[in-house]
Amino acid sequence: MGDPTGFLKNNRKVAGYRPVEQRINDYSEVELQLSEDERKLQASRCMDCGVPFCHWSCPVSNIMPEWQDRIFKGEWKEAWELLQETNNFPEFTGRVCPALCEASCVLALNDEAVTIRQNELAVIEKAFELGLVKANPPKTRSGKKVAVIGGGPAGLAAADQLNKAGHMVTLFEGTDRVGGYLRYGIPDFKLEKSFIDRRLDIMKEEGVVFKTNSYVGRDVKINDIMKEYDAVCITIGAREARDLPIEGRELSGIHQALDYLTQQNKTCAGDKVCQDSLIAALDKNVLVIGGGDTGSDCVGTANRQGARKVTQIELLPMPSKTRTDSEPWPLWPRLHKTSSSHEEGCERLWCISSKKFIGENGKVKKVLACKVEWVNENGRFNMKEVPGSEFEIEADLVLLAMGFVHVVQKDFVNELGLKLDARGNIDTGADFKTSVDKVFAAGDANRGASLVVYAISEGRGAANAINEFLSK
């Protein structure tokens, strides 16, 4: 630890976002970066704890204290070497991770957490700037072939690790571009897609083969893969979106959030979107149903498209703004968060249930909603409609962002006969093995909709398991 009293001398300083008036007009990243000198001071706030909880709460077990010290000393190469040992893609997590580490940072116990996420980003971007991150193909090959199905962060991490271990990796991606939700889902203003391409170029040079437009179960037969490869890693995400089957659902103007977000990602990438299927928010009253991060991404996108008004509703009550006793440090607290997108203009309502969509000429115009209460009955919270609380919300574009139920089962998961868990995701043990020989699963497909950092950690875990399986 470079400066044992750094945390007493420097306050937490986040770089913040570009001004709303400016950022609302484009899709470039909203978050700013600190200067190098300021970044070093932020790193000096790390106390190099005897028991570092950041490390414990991080799914990929980043060893933060070690690299914070290197940042403080300006030893960027060493910092990067330590970071890339545990995290394949710090440039993704450094941008979009909710930073479980910061919630459990020891400094956050009675002060403000170290800016761990942004420090991580500084390390990897500096490493790219210095030309340290380059292709480093394995010296020897094992001769074993592994198929990775699904090119999200889980698939990418698994492919990267397996390739480094010397196996020949082919990654099958159903869409036209690799990246999963990083590519089509997370808006460009949170994660610019050039950063994915920059990483993919290195992985290609190192020998990973990417097959896009290769949707397994449609473009490619799972049986062919099973025949050709020594091991298969399934990382297809948990993409079965939750729907809202209420009266009027068939009206036009009601879309799944992911369809909407994907379209904008494609537009940003320069693709032409067919006019008939265009989902546009321009001059519309947009209603986002679902109060989570996907919903928030819809809010930011709708505002950029020039929506007249954006409303986001959520069934659950508004979470507390500060930690409650039921989630003491160092646990991850569910807190009320205001994202950069919310700052850009949005009305947010909690404890609201949608009862029916009301339309005109086949197009949605309004949503009939009501207030609900959550009553504690014998320790279980049950939802009760507040009598007489019905009201209407003007909406000519409705976006459903209510989360994902489980993995998509119909395309090849069922065909393979994979055992599913209680929630409908692919069942594996701690060793990422599915019920079918030589088939492994990781990421959202295994644990249900989660986070990028968990996807990476699962991808790494599965790669380890596969490596062990192949070395037998």
Q: Which residues bind ligand FAD (CB under 6 A)?
A: 96-97, 149-155, 172-175, 180-182, 185-186, 215-217, 235-237, 239, 258, 261, 293-294, 297, 411-412, 443-445, 449-453, 455
- What is the pairing mode between strands 209-211 and 363-377? unpaired
Binding mask 94-133 for other proteins (x = CB under 8 A): ------------xx-xxx----------------------
Distance, in Å, from the CA atom of 289 to the CA atom of 298, rounded to the nearest integer, reads: 10
Distance, in Å, from the CA atom of 394 to the CA atom of 397, rounded to the nearest integer, reads: 9
Nearest to 52 by CA among 114, 122, 110: 114
Distance, in Å, from the CA atom of 244 to the CA atom of 368, rounded to the nearest integer, reads: 13
5 forms part of the interface with other proteins (CB under 8 A): yes
Q: Which of 19, 21, 35, 51 binds other proteins (CB under 8 A)?
A: 51
342, 30 contact by CB (below 8 A) = no
Among residues 102 and 173, whose Cβ is nearest to ligand FAD? 173
Shortest distance in whole angstroms from residue 95 CB to ligand FAD:
8
169 forms part of the interface with other proteins (CB under 8 A): no
Backbone angles phi, psi at 254, to 5 degrees: -115, 120
Among residues 44 and 264, whose Cβ is nearest to ligand FAD? 264
Shortest distance in whole angstroms from residue 96 CB to ligand FAD:
4
Choose among ligand FAD, other proteins, none what residue 7 binds, the Cβ cut-off being 5 to 8 Å by kind.
other proteins
Choose among other proteins, ligand FAD, none what residue 290 binds, the Cβ cut-off being 5 to 8 Å by kind.
none
Choose among ligand FAD, other proteins, none what residue 443 binds, the Cβ cut-off being 5 to 8 Å by kind.
ligand FAD
Among residues 7 and 181, whose Cβ is nearest to other proteins? 7
376 forms part of the interface with other proteins (CB under 8 A): no
- What is the pairing mode between strands 397-400 and 380-385? unpaired
Strand partners, 252: 363
49 forms part of the interface with other proteins (CB under 8 A): yes
Distance, in Å, from the CA atom of 196 to the CA atom of 168, rounded to the nearest integer, reads: 21
Among residues 47 and 83, whose Cβ is nearest to other proteins? 47
Shortest distance in whole angstroms from residue 267 CB to ligand FAD:
16
4 forms part of the interface with other proteins (CB under 8 A): yes
- CB burial of 115-153 (b: ≥16 within 10 Å; e: otherwise) equals bbbbbbbbbbbbbbeeeebeeeeeeeebebbbbbbbbbb
Run of H or E including 104: helix 100-104
424, 409 contact by CB (below 8 A) = yes
Shortest distance in whole angstroms from residue 51 CB to other proteins:
4
Shortest distance in whole angstroms from residue 93 CB to ligand FAD:
7
Choose among ligand FAD, other proteins, none what residue 411 binds, the Cβ cut-off being 5 to 8 Å by kind.
ligand FAD
Among residues 106 and 302, whose Cβ is nearest to other proteins? 106
47 forms part of the interface with other proteins (CB under 8 A): yes
Distance, in Å, from the CA atom of 217 to the CA atom of 403, rounded to the nearest integer, reads: 24
Strand partners, 441: 234
Q: In a 3-state reduction of DSSP, which class is residue 141?
A: coil
Angle, alpha carbons 198-201-206 (nearest 5°): 135
Distance, in Å, from the CA atom of 184 to the CA atom of 190, rounded to the nearest integer, reads: 12
Q: How many residues bind other proteins (CB under 8 A)?
A: 14
Shortest distance in whole angstroms from residue 453 CB to ligand FAD:
6
Distance, in Å, from the CA atom of 166 to the CA atom of 467, rounded to the nearest integer, reads: 9
322 forms part of the interface with other proteins (CB under 8 A): no
Shortest distance in whole angstroms from residue 377 CB to ligand FAD:
33
Among residues 330 and 459, whose Cβ is nearest to other proteins? 330
Residue 170: HSE in the Cβ half-sphere, 13 Å Cα cutoff: 16
Nearest to 114 by CA among 132, 102, 97: 102
50 forms part of the interface with other proteins (CB under 8 A): yes
Shortest distance in whole angstroms from residue 441 CB to ligand FAD:
9
Distance, in Å, from the CA atom of 399 to the CA atom of 298, rounded to the nearest integer, reads: 8
The region of 45-53, 78-86, 264-272, 387-395 touching other proteins under the rule CB under 8 A is 45-53
- Chain contacts with other proteins (rule: CB under 8 A): 4-5, 7-8, 47-51, 106-107, 109-111
